């Protein structure tokens, strides 16, 4: 039974409570306008691709629907007055795939999949002089529409100035580039504008009063993506659409705009027969010598052994092999050492193995006068330890040591050192759904190439993912794509160009420059699973390079006129099948704009 207090006692307690409350933070309140969209409109919100719906809702009669597209992630934002140096909690109920909630320039959270309404919550503290905060919700490119309801910003309100925040600026365009700077311009914002902020990701890289800016201090031959906001004393607008640019200063490797890349069975025959270096047709622009392999899995000691005469009856002498390499290089071809392959497991578990790797690879490159290195790590060479869930800052030794070794080799041989990589889809695109073990005991190799690619992105010449020997893979359209047709090559390659969210990490892998991207496929039906007929390959190239014949797929990364080309396994198998791959694709690549 509940006891009753006398009026005097109750009054005394209220007084005490009031005295205690003097020293506490002001009572929390929802600072947002129309937080549950119960106005039946987007009143108070600035949205791109947003609308109000009556079902499904979390509560009440209305909710937000964000209509995501291939070029717009349907952001809705609202700017509110806040007090400086004060704690706030932002929350929202959301449903859909890849739904984000956050504060512009500050904390954020997300969910990769919410079939029903799920609450997202993020805490932040305003800056020492901050008087406004812009909160946002958005989905992700190419995903289905998302829904949101009952958005809440708890904390003490600031003093809102008169008027309102400016409108969203026009989409920026790149007006010029140098080796260390990218210049931008954009359309003016509506309303009263104090200035504009240029963002790269969530970081402000430039603040100006006009409608143009030059972002400087950049590294040569690097890609960047920028958005712009307008601000005044009332707050900050939503971000504009993004514009991407690449600084100049890329060192020419001497490759054609669209290249033909092939692996040469230099150390074994593999049933397809041996091809002498001097007999490789001139259409091949990069020749990968297969394979350099370790003396043991963890030694880091790489050896390149030429095919013995007992296996390859027509093998040339070392002197003739070396002379043929030099002749190819005189024609502008690049000859690389490819390390790994299906049987060559390389795990650089220690710094000693890393150093041995660098020294032994250097010895092979110097012995044969090679142009660079191809990293073809497969199987269990790369993996991610539990808790290693930030591809930007990996901690697993086999990944960290490989990155260090490749950077050392690049620094040793200089800017003309050609570096290529040939990962399987499991180690790259699968990272869109799953990264490492995912904290649930899954396969810890998933996406494990991503930190290597990211760390070497400014040194990488070509990434040619193996679009073969692969199971179905989810693309940016959230559909599974199956190897063997144009659709698979389009979807897998578009992921590399556009970039993608990485598993459930809350991080996004940035896309590569288009001139760094190729894709790989078997030269013939006997060379591997996933053979694609030449006509379907050309359909894929038309889509990727010219934006044509894409079927039902929408390119998230846009067309790539400087798309680097095609890789195949292998030159030997192509010769065995009367050069079908070379004869079909070399002329087609040469004819591309």
Largest CA distance in the chain: 108
Are residues 56 and 37 in contact, defined by beta-carbon separation less than 8 angstroms?
no
Query: Burial of 126 by CB count in 10 Å (0-12 exposed, 13-18 middle, 19+ buried)?
Result: buried
* Pairwise CA distance, residues 492 & 489, whole Å: 5
SS (H, E, C) 404-418: HHHHHHHHHHCCCCE
Are residues 235 and 158 in contact, defined by beta-carbon separation less than 8 angstroms?
no
Which residues, 6 or more positions from 181, have their beta carbon under 8 angstroms from its beta carbon? 214, 215, 216, 217, 218, 247
| DSSP secondary structure letters along 137-172 | EE--TTPPPEEEEEEEEEE-B--PPSS-PPPPPPPP
Nearest CA to 285 out of 325, 230, 235, 333 is that of 333
Phi, psi of 175 (to 5 degrees): -105, -10
Are residues 66 and 146 in contact, defined by beta-carbon separation less than 8 angstroms?
yes
Are residues 586 and 539 in contact, defined by beta-carbon separation less than 8 angstroms?
no
Whether 378 sits among the annotated catalytic residues: the reply is yes
Nearest CA to 75 out of 104, 97, 48 is that of 48
DSSP summary character for residue 277: G
How does 228-245 read in b/e, with b if 16+ C-beta sit within 10 Å?
Answer: bbbbbebbbbbbbbebbb
* H or E element that contains 591: helix 580-591
DSSP summary character for residue 565: E
Residue whose structure tokens are 């800016």: 213
Which residues, 6 or more positions from 535, have their beta carbon under 8 angstroms from its beta carbon? none
Q: Identify the bridge partners of residue 94 per DSSP, sorted by sequence position.
A: 118, 148
* Pairwise CA distance, residues 438 & 125, whole Å: 29
* H or E element that contains 450: helix 450-455
Nearest CA to 289 out of 365, 357, 360 is that of 365
* Pairwise CA distance, residues 248 & 223, whole Å: 10
- Neighbouring CB atoms inside 10 A of 490's CB total 25
SS (H, E, C) 306-344: CCCCCCCCCCCCHHHHHHHHHHHHHCCCEEEEEEEECCC
* Pairwise CA distance, residues 522 & 529, whole Å: 7
What are the helix (H) ranges across 463-505?
Answer: 486-498
Exactly one of 378, 424, 514, 580 is catalytic; name it. 378
Are residues 431 and 454 in contact, defined by beta-carbon separation less than 8 angstroms?
no
Instruction: Say how far residue 431 (Cα) sits from the centre of its chain.
Output: 10
Q: Active-site positions?
A: 378
């Amino acid at each position: 039974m509940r006891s009753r207090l006398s009026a005097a006692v109750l009054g005394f307690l209220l007084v005490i409570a009031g005295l205690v409350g003097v020293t506490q933070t002001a009572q929390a309140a929802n600072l947002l306008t129309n937080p549950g969209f119960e106005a039946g409109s987007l009143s108070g919100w600035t949205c791109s691709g947003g609308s109000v719906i009556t079902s499904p809702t979390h509560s009440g009669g209305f909710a937000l629907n964000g209509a995501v597209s291939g070029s717009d992630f349907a952001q809705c934002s609202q700017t509110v007055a806040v007090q400086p140096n004060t704690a706030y909690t932002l929350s929202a109920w959301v449903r859909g795939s890849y739904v984000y909630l956050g504060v512009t320039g500050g904390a954020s959270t997300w969910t990769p999949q919410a079939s029903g309404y799920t609450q997202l919550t993020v805490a932040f503290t305003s800056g020492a002089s901050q008087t406004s905060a812009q909160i946002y919700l958005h989905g992700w490119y190419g995903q289905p529409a998302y829904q949101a309801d009952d958005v809440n910003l708890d904390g003490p309100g600031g003093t809102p100035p008169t008027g309102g925040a400016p409108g969203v600026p026009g989409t920026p365009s790149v007006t010029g580039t140098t080796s260390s700077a990218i210049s931008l311009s954009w359309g003016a914002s509506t309303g009263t504008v104090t200035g504009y902020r240029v963002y790269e990701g969530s970081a402000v890289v430039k603040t100006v009063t006009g409608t143009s800016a030059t972002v400087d201090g950049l590294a040569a031959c690097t890609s960047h993506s920028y958005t712009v906001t307008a601000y005044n004393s009332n707050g900050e607008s939503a971000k504009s659409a993004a514009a991407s640019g690449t600084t100049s200063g890329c060192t020419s490797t001497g490759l054609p705009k669209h290249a033909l890349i092939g692996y040469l069975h230099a150390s074994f025959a593999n049933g397809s027969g041996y091809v002498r270096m001097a007999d490789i047709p001139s259409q091949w622009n990069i020749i990968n010598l297969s394979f350099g392999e370790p003396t043991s899995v963890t030694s880091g000691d790489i050896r390149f052994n030429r095919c013995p005469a007992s296996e390859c009856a027509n093998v040339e002498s070392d002197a003739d092999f070396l002379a043929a390499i030099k002749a190819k290089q005189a024609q502008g071809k690049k000859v690389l050492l490819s390390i790994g392959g299906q049987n060559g497991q390389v795990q650089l578990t220690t710094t000693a193995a890393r150093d041995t790797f660098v020294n032994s690879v250097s010895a092979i490159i110097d012995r044969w006068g090679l142009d660079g290195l191809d990293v073809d790590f497969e199987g269990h060479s790369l993996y991610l330890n539990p808790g290693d869930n930030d591809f930007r800052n990996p901690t697993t030794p086999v990944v960290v040591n490989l990155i260090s070794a490749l950077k050392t080799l690049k620094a040793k041989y200089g800017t003309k050192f050609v570096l290529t990589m040939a990962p399987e889809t499991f180690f790259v695109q699968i990272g869109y759904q799953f990264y490492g073990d995912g904290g649930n005991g899954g396969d810890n190799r998933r996406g494990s190439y991503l930190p290597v690619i990211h760390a070497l992105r400014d040194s990488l010449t070509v990434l040619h993912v193996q679009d073969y020997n692969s199971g179905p893979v989810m693309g940016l359209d959230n559909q599974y794509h199956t190897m063997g047709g144009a659709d698979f090559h389009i979807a897998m390659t578009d992921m590399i160009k556009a970039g993608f969210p990485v598993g459930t990490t809350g991080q996004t892998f940035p896309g590569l420059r288009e001139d760094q991207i190729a894709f790989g496929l078997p030269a013939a039906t006997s060379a591997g699973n996933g053979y694609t007929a030449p006509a379907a390959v050309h359909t894929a190239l038309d889509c990727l390079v010219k934006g044509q014949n894409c079927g039902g797929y929408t390119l998230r990364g846009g067309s790539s006129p400087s798309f680097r080309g095609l890789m195949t396994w292998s030159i030997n198998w192509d010769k065995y099948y009367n050069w079908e791959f070379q004869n079909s694709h070399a002329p087609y690549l040469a004819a591309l704009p």
